[in-house]
Structure 1
Amino acid sequence: MPVIRALFASALACLSAARGDLTYVDATSGAGGNTTLANGTSYTPPLNGTNGADQQWEQRTVFGSGGNVYESGGEGGENAPELRMKLTGLVAGGTYRVRVHFWDAGPAWRIRAGFNSSPGGNTLFANQAEAAGIGATGAVAASTLSYALVPTTFVEDDRTMYSADLGTTLANGSGEIPVFIDDLAPVLGANERTWFDGISYEAAAPVNAVRYVDATTGNTTRWDATTFAPAADGVTGADNNWERRALGNSGTVFEANFEAPENAPLLVTELTGLTPSTSYVLYAYFWTDGGNWRLKASVSVGDIQINGTPGNLADDFLPTTPPTHFAANDNAGGTATVGSLASATTFTIAPLVTEGNRTLMHANLGTATSDAGGSIKVYIDDFAAGSAVPRTWYDGVGYKPALALEPAQDEDGDGLTNGQEATLGTDPYLVDTDGDSHGDKVEVDAGSDPLKATSIPPLPGNGIGIAPDGAWTWFNDERAIFHQGSLFTGYVKGNGQYGITRYDPAAHEVFHMVISTAASQQQDDHNNPSITVLPDGKLLVIYSKHHGGSQFYQRTSLVPLPSTNADWGPEITVAMPNNHTYSNAYLLTGESNAIYNFSRCVNFNPTITKSLNNGVTWETPQQMIEVGTNNVRPYSRYCSNHTDRIDLIYTDGHPRDVDNSIYHMFYKAGAFCKTDGTLIDTMANLPLDHQGGQRGSVIYQYSNAAWGLGQGPDHWIPGARGWTWDVHYGTGGNPVCVFQVQTGTDATWATSRIFYYFARWNGTAWERKFIAQGGRGIYAAESDYGGGMSIDPSHPNVIYISSNAANPFNLADVSNVPLRANARYELYRGVTTDGGQTFTWEQLTTNSERDNLRPIVPENHGYERALLWFNGTYSSYTNYNTRVLAIMENSLSMRSSSFGGNTATLTWNSSPGQMYRITGSADLAGFPLEAAAAIESQGGTTSHTFAFPLPLHNAPKAFFRVETE
């Protein structure tokens, strides 16, 4: 089936289907207003009566609709800043026609407006009669239009409101459309002024809308021609059949993989009544609840491998052709094409697109030609992945004639216009032309080839993929360790299984293992395992459910370098007196290899459980700190020198409940001490009475007081509550730590802000410094969940942060902190050379499609740069679709060289996953001679022996260099 690529204006006389009259929205500014500066910063213009060219808008509050207009150039020529007015509450993905409203009293008052920020560059509008003479686009009198919500006035004295058509655009995933407003810039005089009043919009259907067809047992059958008999609603268990659920469009969806992993049969939905031998654009529709629900769909049965044995998952469809495998949130580790949100405004008759917490997803299937009888078959399958999480809710299909395409439109919604797709040679009907699971626009932006499946965008930060599915809380450690040359990382998968991945930097290989059982697993990121190296080199992992019972679980590896599930001993349940959460296990060689597991348990407070025989048995748990009642509990972060000392920083409680300060103490030789070594109390006398004064040294003291002379955010932020992130040892073994403080609450999440601090013990006192804006919490129900901070334990002057602040290192203002335009969290690396007084910052991830969260640095990594984090969509601690990534880098530098005859061996510092080549030169003018190529990194160092290029044989001197490929 050839793809239609010709691009020309349709000659069909089609009119846009009206979806309702215009809704007028008056422009408002200041706190809570819909109009800001173009970068999103809140803006309050000066009010009535400002004279002179102050290069600002003036807010006139006695004119226009609602008694409010924004004026530039009223008193003289000036250039006011570009504004952004945001329409909200729209249908996500919906198509809308948008108009900007302005006033004119002659000779030609003007305005610039568009959907993208372009100061002085957006389309210039003026009234129709005068537009042509000044090179502007004509606007119509606003009173000539039809409204569902009408402006309060259209004419005032000699002034008339005009409306300029900006065209159609799509609402983003949050149901928002930003419109950018500007004046003439520069205005030539008072008569070329701008009076901006507001915006109106209406839903619009595209010229060639999609016809939705609900899947039923009448139009959908099994591909193998046996009777299609889906199970009734409510049938439980893995019966390897579709279940008919009373949900979705027409009250029916076909569901697989809900109660348990199963493999439902391949289906065929047949479209009938089409024009024979005619090309159509095809779509498939499935649901998601925010998790990464999936669908397999194709117009060609040859693109879906046939599963001959329904009970055998091994021969089910495999993602060898990713365009037939669709996911809701991301590309599922490079195996799926991302679907888009279905928009009610793209259909001839809109189907149900939201229901409860579920959203209908839209999958582009490309084009197909109807047969002589006017029918097309669409093939549908589930995703039998051995997990109930990527379930399938199949609802129906859609189609429309494959008409000629408008170059300025985006037929497949991938972000490239049809004209751009024609230039690139990509398929304008498919989001992912080459089937590598990365959208065409994503590839173009990343510099990879959208027509070459082997050319894929680099991972964020040019990172290494560690695990395709995983996340963690930051209150369990060690989450990741280097052990015998391999990196071991623990995490919780999206389906609630607890995973361990071993990454071998020398071979650039990963080995994924699942350590949890059905009894211990829980879909909650609080449950990631703590990993401890035992004296014999084997690994002990300890993990718990979050509010899931009075026990913890443990497993011990059977070998020092476990690589498969079979390399682990049985799961052991250890009874505890109360609910057990947050395992932090440390082995102290100076105490005969005693293991201390710090957790939250007794009375919901920090608790210590000790083992003297490598975890075979555990002593009676001891409550370590006693704070409050009714779930008030400190939040602790730990580190250890693994010999004789364990340090912790901790809070008074949870920041939503308590006005938190932050404290430090350490354990050594059976005693707990303040930072300066002053005894707090002994292990025998636990718990420590925090409210009675038995507490560590203060790092940050909460205060609601205003700053006095010489005070500022380095001291405290008024009303900001602390939370802990990381602690390690700095110069001379003195502790260093990073923490956050937060203003606002869950109820004020949109304006709540997080601030990042670095602190160090200088030998006599704690020094702290406000170092970065953390932005906003990850989601509203946990407004205190920041993006994250981490210290490099091997280089404690290096820290990493995740922030969605627009300018993370603008520390001048803590009351007005704008976010990035898409509120995306990016990673930054900071280095201090003066004890934390100043930092030099480097941005590690840029323009990320998904958030980069909770960075950590494993101990003893041996690299100049080492970092782990998870990347993806994080909706809550029980609902996320994220992958684990890493950076491990060394600067390319020579370590040693040896020569013999016409051969040589070079050894250099290298980075895992990198490819190198060696070039040679007979002189110093260049290195034109290739000596070796495609040399795979061997980890942190690489060594290679090679023969001299023939022109260098027996040369008196030979120069070589190593280059990255």
Structure 2
Amino acid sequence: MNRDPAPLIVNDNGAWCWFQDERALVDPATQTLVVGSIAAPEGPGGEARAGNVELSVVDLRAGTSETVVLHERLESDDHDVPALWRRADGRWLAVYTRHKTDDLTRWRVSEPGDPTRWGPEKAFDWSVLTGGAGVTYSNLRSIGGRLYCFARAVNDDQCALVSDDDGDTWAYAGKLFTRPKVGYVNGYTRYDGDGDRVDLITTDHHPRDYDNSIYHGYIEKGVLHRSDGTVVDADALSGEAPSQVELTTILQAGSRWDGVRISHCWTTDVRQGTDASVAAVLTARAGEEEHLERRKAHPDLRFFYARMAPGGEWTVHELAKAGPGLMPHEEDYTGLASIDPYDIDSVYVSTSVDPRDGSVLAHHEIFHARTGDGGATWTWTPVTENSDVDNLRPIAAPGDPSRVPLLWFRGEMTASQHYRCEVVLRDLPRED
């Protein structure tokens, strides 16, 4: 990847979690990029701006950015970042929640074609369903002409709201999975796809509480399937929900890679290919048995690349080392990775270990990885080098197949609630 020109700073105070999508989206007609983020008290604006739910609205032609506040001082937590949707009528939809500290899914709808102007905030109250236990995350996906917002809600399971008017109003759809809760919550799920089929990957619980495996399934015509098409739930989101363990296991906790046991797996990204294939990036601890007595961030986290061929057969390869946990109290946090939404052979990875030679880096850098054999081997190109700060959580924004708008945030992050980071963009035309 050509590393020129220099990245554009699109927001001087922001970060995001990775269980909401789409967090960034391009309108190809107007060449407008919109990305959501949450301002922190350590950044510019301090406490007066802390917890703002913000959108950076970028004019890709002019290379300029405008910051729009959806909700002032909602909560200083990167889990509150909005999910975005471009409606058929030219308006934008933004949906967001707090991090399990209230029971409201909030949303706003923009003026036609203008993501800098927004209508009033509305909210769906989950409390009668959750008993006041809170809701987290928003994922907007269309299935069979209906818009769904997947969230972690009832019993901290994956649930959904549904809208038949493109997000003007919402109703409870039901639970996707359920199981007895262990520790903090049940399962971390990533979604991709719109139209007839949505693919998903998910875990058992939080990796600090449970030795997770990773599972895959898909929803098509209201039916939840395993990877090979076997029906798991003939009426998904209705009645009793199955456990996610009934889906296809794609990365097994306790499996060994080059003799090293991997454990506590976590979902990172998933994208559909153009030929009914699916790609996923997953993380796991490596060699945990050698470090059980250490009370600090796990020193060896790994990225894995999983590829499903049409028909449902998975192959999994180790992608790269991710380095130690990003924070001492969140030992499974990594710099993350993003699959190109229009080219699943292309992945952007944030790591503190150079994937070309295994050398330890001073900070997390972003690398572009390309495979020509389904993930067995990779060619690596640095996107950032010799940085003075960490470069974290890349997003390859969808919306315009002709370009690769790559976003990340850079700076210092000590917690999901505390960081001094700026959001940057490197926008390049897609190479043939």
1:677 Cα deviation after fit: 1.2
Cα deviation, residue 717, structure 1: 4.1
Please give the secondary structure, in 1, of the residue aligned with 2:413. strand
What per-residue deviation string (whole Å, max 9, x for no partner) do you get for residues 922-943 of structure 1?
xxxxxxxxxxxxxxxxxxxxxx
* Equivalences for residues 483-494 of structure 1 within 5 A: 483=27, 484=29, 485-494=31-40
1:771–1:809 Cα contact (<8 Å) kept: no
Residue number in structure 1 paired with 2:248: 697
What is the rounded CA distance, in whole Å, between the counterparts of 1:719 and 1:759 in structure 2? Answer: 15
Q: How does 1:770-809 map to 2 (within 5 A)?
A: 770-805=318-353, 807-809=354-356
How far apart in 2 are the matches of 1:568 and 1:753?
44
- The residue that corresponds to 1:568 in the other structure is 118
SS at match of 1:655: coil
Summarize the Cα distance change of 1:462–1:608 in structure 2 as closer, same or farther, 3 Å threshold. same
**Matches of 2:339 and 2:298 in 1, distance apart?**
28
CA RMSD of aligned residues (A): 2.2
Separation in structure 2 between the aligned mates of residue 856 and residue 841 of structure 1, nearest angstrom: 17
Instruction: Read off the aligned partner of 1:463 and give its amino acid letter.
Output: P
- Structure 2 counterpart of 1:757, one-letter code: F
Alignment-mate amino acid for residue 120 of structure 2: P
User: How far apart are residue 819 of structure 1 and its match?
Assistant: 3.2
Alignment of structure 1 residues 347-746 onto 2, 5 Å = 462-483=6-27, 484=29, 485-494=31-40, 495-518=50-73, 521-563=74-116, 567-576=117-126, 577-578=129-130, 579-588=134-143, 590-591=144-145, 594-630=146-182, 631-640=184-193, 642-681=194-233, 682-683=235-236, 685-690=238-243, 695-703=246-254, 712-713=257-258, 717-743=260-286, 744=288
C-alpha distance in structure 2 between counterparts of 1:728 and 1:581, whole Å:
22
CA positional deviation for 1:835: 1.3
Change (3 A) 1:701 1:750: closer
In structure 2, relative to structure 1, the CA distance for the partners of 1:783 and 1:751 (3 Å cut) is closer
- Kindly indicate which of the two structures has a greater share of residues assigned to strand: 2
CA deviations 1:832-885 (Å, max 9, x no partner) are 111111110001111111100001111133345431110111010000011111
Does structure 2 retain, via aligned residues, the 8 Å contact 1:482–1:860? yes
| CA offset digits 1:360-409 (Å, max 9, x no partner) | xxxxxxxxxxxxxxxxxxxxxxxxxxxxxxxxxxxxxxxxxxxxxxxxxx
CA distance in 1, matches of 2:346, 2:208: 30
Residues 464-511 of structure 1 show CA distances to partners (whole Å, capped at 9, x for unaligned) of: 211111100000110000113211101111111010111111122212
**Which protein has greater RCO, CA pairs closer than 8 Å, 6+ apart?**
2
Secondary structure at 1:526's aligned position in 2?
helix
Match of 2:396 among 840, 843, 857: 857
Look up the equivalent residue of 2:122 and give its one-letter code: I
Deviation of the 1:621 alpha carbon: 4.3
Contact 2:298 2:331 in 1 (8 A): no
The superposition leaves residues 234-258 of structure 1 with CA deviations (integer Å, 9 ceiling, x where unpaired) of xxxxxxxxxxxxxxxxxxxxxxxxx
Q: Relative to 1, partners in 2 of residues 1:541 and 1:819: Cα closer, same or farther, differing over 3 Å?
A: same
Partner of 1:754: 301
Q: Is the 8 A contact 2:402 2:430 kept in 1?
A: no
- In the other structure, the counterpart of 2:429 is 890
Q: In the alignment, is the contact (CA less than 8 A) between 2:175 and 2:237 conserved in 1?
A: no
Q: Determine if contact 2:346/2:368 at 8 Å carries over to the other structure.
A: yes
2: CA distance, partners of 1:676 / 1:842:
35
In the alignment, what sits opposite 2:360?
819
Contact 1:756 1:770 in 2 (8 A): yes
Q: Give the AA of the match of 1:469.
A: N
Q: CA separation in 1, counterparts of 2:428 and 2:278?
A: 26
**CA separation of 1:890 and 1:612: change in aligned 2, threshold 3 A:** closer
Counterparts of 1:659 and 1:785 in 2: how far apart (Å)?
15
Task: Render the CA deviation track for 1:753-812: whole Å, top value 9, x for unaligned.
Answer: 11011111123410010021111111100010001111001111100100012x4345xx
**Structure 2: which amino acid aligns with 1:889?**
L
2:307 match: secondary structure = strand
Unaligned runs of 5+ in 2: 41-49
Q: In structure 1, what is the equivalent of residue 47 of structure 2?
A: none
In structure 2, what is the Cα distance between the partners aligned to 1:552 and 1:840? 42
- TM-score when normalising by structure 2: 0.89
Kept after mapping to 2: 8 A contact 1:749/1:776: no
| Partner amino acid, structure 2, of 1:663 | Y
- Structure 2 distance, partners of 1:785, 1:531, is 24
Counterpart CA distance in 2 for 1:874 and 1:460 is 26
Aligned length: 407
Q: Tell me the SS of whatever aligns to 1:549.
A: coil
Look up the SS of the partner of 1:603 in the other structure.
Answer: helix
Q: Distance between the aligned counterparts of 1:684 and 1:524, measured in 2? A: 29
Matched-pair contact (CA < 8 Å) for 2:10–2:58: yes
Q: Label 1:783 to 1:507 Cα distance change in 2 as closer, same or farther (>3 A).
A: same
Separation in 1 of the partners of 2:102 and 2:17?
Answer: 19
CA contact (8 A) 2:34 2:57 kept: yes
Task: Output aligned runs, 1:319-338, within 5 Å.
Answer: none
1:680 alignment partner AA: V
The whole-number CA distance in structure 2 between the counterparts of 1:646 and 1:809 is 34
Distance 2:196 2:71 in 1: 31
SS of the equivalent of 2:114 reads coil
Query: Shift in Å at residue 515 of structure 1?
Result: 0.2
**Residue 604 (structure 1) shift:** 0.7
- Please give the alpha-carbon distance, in whole angstroms, between the structure 1 residues aligned to 2:352 and 2:97: 31
- The answer as to whether partners of 1:863 and 1:889 remain within 8 angstroms in 2 is no
Asked if the contact 1:460/1:848 (under 8 Å) is kept, the reply is no
Q: Distance in 2 between matches of 1:717 and 1:538?
A: 50
SS in 1 for 2:165: coil
Q: Deviations over 1:25-50 (max 9, x none)?
A: xxxxxxxxxxxxxxxxxxxxxxxxxx
Q: 1:746: Cα distance to partner?
A: 11
**Shift of the alpha carbon at 1:460?**
10
Q: Which of these two proteins has the greater Rg computed from alpha carbons?
A: 1
TM-score by length of 1: 0.41
Q: Which SS does the other structure have where 2:171 is aligned?
A: coil
SS at match of 2:34: strand
Name the CA shift for 1:735/1:888 in 2 (closer, same or farther; >3 Å).
same
- Give ranges in structure 1 of 5+ residues lacking alignment: 1-458, 811-816, 894-965
Distance in 2 between the 1:652 and 1:739 partners?
Answer: 14
Between the aligned partners of 2:391 and 2:232, the Cα distance in structure 1 is 39
Residues 89-120 of structure 1 show CA distances to partners (whole Å, capped at 9, x for unaligned) of: xxxxxxxxxxxxxxxxxxxxxxxxxxxxxxxx
Does the CA-based 8 Å contact 1:625-1:686 persist in structure 2? no
For 2:121, the aligned partner's letter is: E
Tell me how far apart the structure 1 counterparts of residues 333 and 293 of structure 2 sit (CA, whole Å).
10
Q: Cα gap change, 1:475/1:749 in structure 2, threshold over 3 Å: closer, same or farther?
A: same
